[in-house]
Structure 1
């Protein structure tokens, strides 16, 4: 991905559009708007992969470069989420235990984990829908469809 722009396509499965923001070949944002940006292009190889995933093709998107411009402590949480395998889910506490420097017994650290999840700039590529008791940056209906797709 050596491109930049906004790309979007309507997903009947999600009942919304999938919109990607890409800069310098990296995903900077993923959203699920009812109506995409006026200048959104529907043609992009990554959108093709997303739609294959939405049709049931297993894809962990591990090779997709995501630009994470979030504080370091949140970045650690999101990087851990990125490693969660397709079709598997964890709890917020388990995610905290898996994340270096986070104490699953510290309420402030658990709040940090939840904040990182809710502020996730690239849901789907950073699959916060795999954290079954945490917030998702995706709308609730989209989160539930992604969970259903993966059998969670």
Structure 2
């Protein structure tokens, strides 16, 4: 985590108690088909006036995540929920300069790089994706491949 302070148990409890008072964040837990924990993701700072929200907090256990398209599925489900269920018009995200994997995922999903900002003296890239640009269809063959692979393994 990019923070300029020591993370203590008391500090985490305080953050969590404060976090529970928020009503503009949605967290998801990512599980594989067996129900094993793969990671988490979130849509937060949901703003129904500006019709936008921030995506992020995508954390996966790489040892398990290599067994399927979990990151892709989680990102597509989050974006579907944001655009289709919540009716938002823009999703934005900030990604550390050294997180090239997530920068690649964002570009493939259609996010447009806007600028670089410093967050606690660390460079982050700011990306936006608008509803009129979002197109999940190119990813369907990938997901279908993995669905078939899973079905064959079950048989």
Q: If the length of structure 2 is used for normalisation, what is the TM-score?
A: 0.28
Bigger relative CO (Cα 8 Å, ≥ 6 apart): 1
TM-score by length of 1: 0.28
